């Protein structure tokens, strides 16, 4: 069932139930009010009957008859009687009353009762040591006729109103959901070929406007992702094609004629350099793909960070034996287990890439790596005295395959810094770069500490 139909039915049922409940409540309140008003009139009749009975000796028969005709028998089907209550004698009633009413009439001083549509009021009083019971009953015909009329009006209004409510609910719901339907039609026309199109936002403050804004923001992110993917593929193709072309070209030239042993060595050395560059690019691409596809399955463990830095230094010494990386780990940190929650292999990859950049762009000059911490975070600063990064490139340098103008001639894949940044993000940390051209670069890494 469509939302439009479900919403229309829900609104119709609620409105109809409210209308019906309102009608029943009005009828019930009117009925109770009429009964209460008639009860008051009956009580007045009882009081009049009592007074007439008490003072009948002071009136002549003609006056008593006139008063009786004037004040009594003015209600429809009214009956009244005064009965003496004698404990030793069964009272004799002029009119028949139900058994359950008779018991209450004799036991209670005042009583209001109903017998079918007939209403009655009774009252006990004493005269000269004797107890008397006044009983007045009557039928409120006018009220009953009014109630029948009110009931019929409510039923007719209900029968006519409920279909109108259903029709009105469908019309109103259709009109209210029309903007959503139009937005759905528009959204269905947007594909990869025209992803630049956007939904119109008429009122940014209502729910439909916020929905359109959220959808447009999603399209913005998708479009940026598509563009980034295209740029990534173009750059990756370029980075892979160049070494492959160089390898093939060098091999073809070498194989074109006989060479000396020294020439073969030079050619193989060139091929090896290009193959290493290709291997580095492919490995970084695979690592970046793995990290970008992270779905929560990477295992994290508690890692003593000072120990990890020493292990990374040993690994990097094997990769670049001529490096001049200097670890600065204060004694209090070295002696204390300052730990982070992370994946050891990923953190090694991230920091080795940063070491490699620092050494490469400073031509293997001294690179200082200092470790500090505060109450909540661990801080690692990697500082080199290399060529630095241009101010206009500093915010773009983390993008895949982006290389600064002053670093184009230096061999590299352009992925290492992107990979390191993504790994630090996965560890809920931050990576910031400060640099000045020809004065060097500082990479600041912060990671949340793992409490003991």
Tens of pLDDT, residues 249-292: 888 888 888 888 888 888 888 888 778 777 776 776 666 666 66
Residues belonging to the chain: 452
pLDDT, residue 388, reads: 87
Q: Please report which confidence band the pLDDT of residue 25 belongs to, taking 50, 70 and 90 as the band edges.
A: very high
pLDDT, residue 75, reads: 76
**Would the pLDDT of 31 be above 60?**
yes
Query: Among 385, 346, 382, 390, which residue's Cα sits nearest to residue 364?
Result: 385
**Would the pLDDT of 59 be above 60?**
no
Note the pLDDT tens digit of each residue in 156-188: 988 888 888 888 888 888 887 777 778 878 888
Evaluated on CA atoms 147, 148, 149, 151, the torsion sign reads: positive
pLDDT, residue 442, reads: 92
Task: Round to whole Å and give the CA distance between 326 and 322.
Answer: 12
Q: Are 449 and 339 in contact (CB under 8 A)?
A: yes
Note the pLDDT tens digit of each residue in 369-418: 999 888 889 999 999 998 888 888 788 777 766 666 666 666 666 677 88
In DSSP notation, 2-24 reads: -HHHHHHHHHHHHHHHHHHHHHH
Query: Among 188, 174, 155, 148, which residue's Cα sits nearest to residue 7?
Result: 174
Query: Among 293, 289, 329, which residue's Cα sits nearest to residue 313?
Result: 329
Q: What are phi and psi of 291, to 5 degrees?
A: -70, -40
**Would the pLDDT of 82 be above 70?**
yes
Between 242 and 349, the more confident residue is 349
Q: Are 423 and 350 in contact (CB under 8 A)?
A: yes
Task: Round to whole Å and give the CA distance between 388 and 257.
Answer: 44
- Output DSSP code: residue 190: -
Q: Where are the beta strands (DSSP E) in 374-419?
A: 377-384
Task: Round to whole Å and give the CA distance between 222 and 234.
Answer: 18
For 333, residues 6+ apart whose C-beta sits below 8 A from its C-beta are 306, 371, 372, 373
Task: Round to whole Å and give the CA distance between 65 and 329.
Answer: 123
In DSSP notation, 381-408 reads: EEEE-SS---GGGTTTTTSTT---GGGT
Mean pLDDT of 28-45: 88
Task: Round to whole Å and give the CA distance between 361 and 110.
Answer: 109
**Would the pLDDT of 445 be above 90?**
yes
* Angle between helix 344-361 and 261-292 (nearest 10): 130
H/E run at residue 132: strand 130-139
pLDDT, residue 360, reads: 87
Q: Please report which confidence band the pLDDT of residue 432 belongs to, taking 50, 70 and 90 as the band edges.
A: very high
* Angle between helix 344-361 and 416-426 (nearest 10): 140
């Amino acid at each position: 069932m469509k939302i439009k139909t479900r919403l229309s039915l829900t609104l119709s049922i609620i409105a109809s139930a409210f209308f019906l409940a309102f009608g029943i409540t009005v009828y019930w309140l009117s009925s109770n009010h009429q009964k209460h008003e008639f009860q008051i009139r009956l009580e007045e009749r009882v009081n009049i009957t009592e007074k007439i009975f008490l003072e009948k000796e002071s009136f002549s028969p003609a006056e008593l008859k006139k008063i009786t005709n004037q004040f009594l028998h003015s209600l429809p089907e009214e009956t009244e009687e005064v009965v003496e209550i004698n404990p030793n004698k069964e009272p004799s009633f002029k009119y028949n009353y139900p058994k359950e009413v008779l018991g209450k009439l004799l036991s209670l001083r005042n009583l209001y009762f109903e017998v079918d549509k007939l209403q009655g009021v009774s009252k006990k009083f004493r005269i000269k040591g004797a107890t008397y019971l006044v009983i007045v009953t009557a039928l409120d015909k006018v009220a009953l006729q009014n109630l029948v009329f009110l009931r019929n009006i409510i039923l007719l209004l209900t029968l006519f109103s409920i279909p109108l409510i259903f029709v009105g609910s469908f019309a109103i719901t259709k009109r209210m959901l029309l903007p959503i339907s139009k937005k759905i039609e528009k959204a269905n026309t947007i594909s990869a070929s025209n992803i630049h199109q956007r939904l119109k936002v008429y009122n940014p403050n209502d729910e439909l406007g916020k929905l359109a804004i959220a959808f447009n923001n999603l399209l913005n992110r998708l479009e940026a992702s598509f563009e980034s993917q295209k740029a990534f593929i173009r750059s990756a193709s370029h980075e892979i094609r160049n070494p492959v072309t160089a390898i093939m070209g060098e091999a073809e030239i070498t194989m074109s004629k006989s060479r000396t042993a020294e020439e073969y060595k030079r050619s193989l050395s060139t091929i090896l350099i290009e193959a290493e560059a290709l291997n580095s690019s492919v490995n970084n691409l695979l690592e970046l793909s793995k990290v970008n596809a992270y779905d929560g399955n990477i295992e994290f463990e508690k890692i003593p960070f000072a120990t990890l830095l020493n292990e990374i230094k040993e690994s990097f010494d094997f990769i670049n034996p001529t490096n001049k990386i200097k670890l600065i780990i204060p004694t209090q940190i070295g002696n204390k287990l300052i730990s982070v929650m992370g994946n050891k292999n990923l953190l090694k990859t991230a920091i080795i890439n940063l070491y490699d950049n620092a050494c490469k762009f400073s031509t293997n000059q001294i690179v200082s790596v200092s470790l500090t911490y505060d109450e909540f975070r661990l801080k690692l600063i990697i500082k080199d005295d290399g060529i630095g990064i241009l101010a206009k490139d500093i915010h773009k340098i983390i993008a895949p395959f982006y290389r600064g103008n002053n670093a184009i001639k230096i061999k590299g894949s352009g992925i290492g810094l992107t990979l390191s940044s993504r790994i630090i993000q996965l560890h809920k940390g931050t990576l910031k770069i400060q640099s000045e051209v020809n004065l060097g670069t500082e990479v600041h890494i912060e990671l949340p500490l793992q409490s003991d």
